[in-house]
Amino acid sequence: MATKSAKNSHANSHGRRKWSAAVKTESTYPKAGLFNQDAETIARQLASKKVSPKGPSSGMRMLTFYINRAGKNLPARRKKVLERAKGLLHERIVAAKQHAG
Is 5 inside any structural domain? no
In a domain, 70, yes or no: yes
Structural domain span for residue 74: 29-100
The answer to whether residue 48 sits within a structural domain is yes
Domain count, the chain: 1
> Would the pTM count as exceeding 0.75?
no
In 3D space, the residue among 55, 45, 43 whose CA is nearest the CA of residue 82 turns out to be 43
- Residue 54 located in a structural domain: yes
Q: What is the pLDDT of residue 40?
A: 97
Taking only the tens of pLDDT, the chain with its 101 residues reads 555 544 444 544 556 666 666 666 555 678 889 999 999 999 999 999 888 888 889 999 999 999 998 988 999 999 999 999 999 999 999 988 888 77
Q: How far are the Cα atoms of 41, 43, 70, 101 from residue 21, in angstroms, in the given order?
A: 26, 24, 11, 37
Contact (Cβ atoms closer than 8 angstroms) between residue 47 and residue 91: no
Does residue 22 sit within a domain?
A: no
- Write phi, then psi, for 50 (nearest 5 degrees): -65, -40
Query: What is the DSSP annotation of 38-66?
Result: -HHHHHHHHHSTTT-TT-HHHHHHHHHHH
7: in domain: no
Neighbours of 96 (CB within 10 A): 14
Rounded to whole angstroms, the Cα distance separating 52 from 96 reads: 13
Residue 59 covered by a domain: yes
Domain presence at residue 4: no
